[in-house]
Amino acid sequence: MAIRNHLRLLLTAGSLLATAFASPLERRFEDDNDDDDTPLPVVIWHGLGDTYNAEGMRKVAELADQINPGTLVYPIRMDDNAARDRYASFVGNVTDHVAKACADIAAHPILSTAPAIDAVGFSQGGQFLRAYVERCNKPPVRSLVTFGSQHNGIVRFRDCSPTDWVCRVAMAVLNGSPWSGTVQSKLVPAQYFRDPEQLDQYLEHSNFLADINNERPLKNQEYKKNIAKLENFVMYMFEDDTTVIPKETSWFEEVVGEESTPLRARKLYTEDWLGLRELDRKGGLKFRTAPGEHMQLSEEILSEAFGDFFGPLNRNKGRSEPRPAVFVGDDL
């Protein structure tokens, strides 16, 4: 969803340097013998109703370069035409969108030669970037940071402004029949709709989320392997989010009525369907909050994320955070 115009980024224009990396793709980015101080490239995926070249996205790119000078920032887009890119955030097959992002990044003359990249996803762009990690990951993502993303799906669709007819038509169709084949293959928000009270229908018909969450009986081991390889997976939840329902989806929580089950108490974690438990064991799974409503991002929050988790390949591993003394499901 659009990063609002009141995002306060008091910046001068940052240079986005196109610096090539000499290391091959297959090199493990865990290696610590490279003292190159060039920041890893950053890819950004915008949210529903936004565009890759919107003012807010440009300011995010400038901030990334200000925090880590010399950062190449690549905004993912479905079309170079902004209007068509925005339309694609509502209409299209998400599997095709992810495949296009994989192909575009792999074909980019600089990104494709980087030893790794960092990634930041806003709203639905967060779970789409997670799908990139799971399904292709060439070049591999070091740190994935998501803001207000719907990792465990949504149970209600967003409200639209009276004049946003693309949004209004899309939401009207979605509210009518979210499980039809046409809706699941054509309307983007339907592909991460997940109502726990309609779980059987979801598992049978979901075109996207049920797959990337590895919720079906046959688990994709490559998804698990790729998520576990991340150095950091940082999930920001907006404290007062009323746009994404439930807001706890940003942390993979399962919310049914008034009851909420944290990620670490869910089978998705205890049976490690996605590699999240393995990642958590090495300190790479991080839960953070951001004040305010959905996508009311401040310079302070973005600077925190870019400073803690982005930058040169081996500068640091990210700021440590407390972890539970006992992991749910561990043998004591």
Q: Which of 46, 85, 294, 308 is catalytic?
A: 294
Joined together, the tokens standing for residue 130 give 């997670």
Which helix (DSSP H) or strand (DSSP E) does residue 234 occupy?
Answer: strand 232-238
DSSP H helices in the chain: 55-67, 82-90, 94-107, 124-135, 165-176, 181-186, 199-205, 209-212, 221-228, 267-270, 276-281, 299-309
Nearest to 308 by CA among 321, 295, 299, 317: 317
Catalytic residue among 123, 149, 206, 250: 123
CB 121 within 8 A of CB 60: no
Note if 205 is an active site residue: no
Reply yes or no on whether 308 is catalytic. Answer: no
For this structure, is 6 an active site residue?
Answer: no
3-state secondary structure of 255: strand
Q: Is there a contact between 19 and 110 (Cβ–Cβ < 8 Å)?
A: yes
Give the chain's largest Cα–Cα span. 58
> How far is residue 327 CA from its own chain's centroid?
25
> What are 254's strand-pairing partners?
261
- Bridge-partner residues for 117, per DSSP? 141
Catalytic residue among 50, 241, 272, 308: 241
Q: How far apart, in Å, are the Cα atoms of 193 and each of 140, 236, 309?
A: 28, 20, 30
Which sequence positions are flagged as catalytic?
123, 241, 294
